[in-house]
Amino acid sequence: MYARTARGMIRSMNSNEHRNAIDRVCRLIDSSDAAPDLTALAREAGLSPWHFQRVFKAALGISPKRYAMARRQQRLSQQLRAASSVTDAIFDAGYATSSAAYRDSKLLGMAPARLRTGGVNERIRYTTADTSLGPILVAATERGICMVEFGGQRTLLAELHRRFAKADIERADDELAEWVRQVVAHIDDPAGTDAGLPLDIRGTAFQVRVWNALTRLLPGETVSYSELARRIKSPDSTRAVARACATNQIAVLVPCHRVIGSDGNLRGYKWGLARKRKLLTRESSISDKD
C-alpha cells in the first residue's frame, strides 16, 4: 500500500529531480532487508540529510523512518502467514531482534503469533443496541472498542466474523453494557456526553493517522478531505484520506461524519447521508449554543 501511495504522491511534487530522488529512495527502502540509515538514504537522493528529510516528508507526509517501519510491518504481516515459525518470519521481514518486531506489533493490532494465525484465540466480545439512528453492533477486544456499525444484526454479525475470522467471538451483553450505554448516549445526545472510550483502532499506518486525527475533531467541527490531509501533514493525499474515511469501522466514535466536501456540501457516508446529516445537525446545535 505504501509503495503505491508513495508513487502517487511523488508525481504531484513540483521538482522532477526531487520526484525521481524520492522514488529511488522508496525503491531502496522497499528492497532492503534492513532499513538504511538517514545518511545513506540522503546520499541516494543526492541531498543533505536535513534537506532530504524535509523533501521526503513533504512528498509522503511521514518521515523516512516511519515509511521504512510501515514497509517492514507490511512484510512481517505477509511473512507471518507463510513462515514455518514466528521467529523465521521476524528475521525474514528484516528485523534484527524479535523484541523490535513485538514493539512494532502494537501497530499491527495483535502480537505476531496471533497475527500469523489470523487472530486465532483472540477474544472479541459484541452486543447490539438500538439508537435514534437505528440499530448498532458494538464489538470490543481487550484493548478497547474495535467496531461500531449501523445495520441489521445478521449482516453485521457476519461482517464481524469476516473481519476476525479466527478469533473467539462471543456475545457479551452484560460485560459491554456500560460501554454500549455510553456509545448510544453519544449518538443520541452528543452535547451531554463525552465518549472518552478506549478504542482499538486497526489499519495501515496511514489509515490510523487519519482516524486518530478524526478523534481530535470536536462536536460541531467539520473539515474537508483536503484540510484533513493537511492536518496529518500529507497535503497530496486527499483521495487516500477519503478512502480511509470510507473504511472506518468505528462509527461516530471515530467521527468520519465530520468530514465534508470543500464546497461545504455533504459527501458520501458509509452509513448513509441521512445519518450523517442528522449527526451533524445535532452537533451544530451544540456549537451554536457555545
- Do 248 and 168 lie in one domain? The reply is no
Query: Residue 102 sits in a domain of what CATH number?
Result: 1.10.10.60
- Pair (21, 112) in one structural domain: yes
81 or 141, higher pLDDT: 141
**What's the CATH code of the domain at 145?**
3.30.160.70
Does residue 69 lie in a domain region? yes
Asked if the model's pLDDT at residue 250 lies above 50, the reply is yes
* Confidence at residue 6, expressed as pLDDT on a 0 to 100 scale: 43
| Bridge partners of residue 168, in order along the sequence | 123
Q: What is the pLDDT of residues 191-231, one digit of tens each?
A: 655 557 888 887 777 888 899 899 888 888 999 999 999 99
- Could you give the number of structural domains in the chain? 3
Using the 3D structure, point to which of 87, 117, 147 is the last residue of a domain.
Answer: 117
Active-site residues, by number, are: 256
94 shares a domain with 61: yes
The CATH number of whichever domain residue 243 belongs to comes to: 1.10.10.10
**Confidence (pLDDT) at 46:** 86
pLDDT-based confidence at 129, cuts 50/70/90?
A: very high
**Has residue 114 got a pLDDT over 60?**
no
Provide the domain limits for residue 247. 205-289
* Residues 240, 100, 49: CA angle, nearest 5 degrees: 65
Average pLDDT score over residue span 251-278 = 91
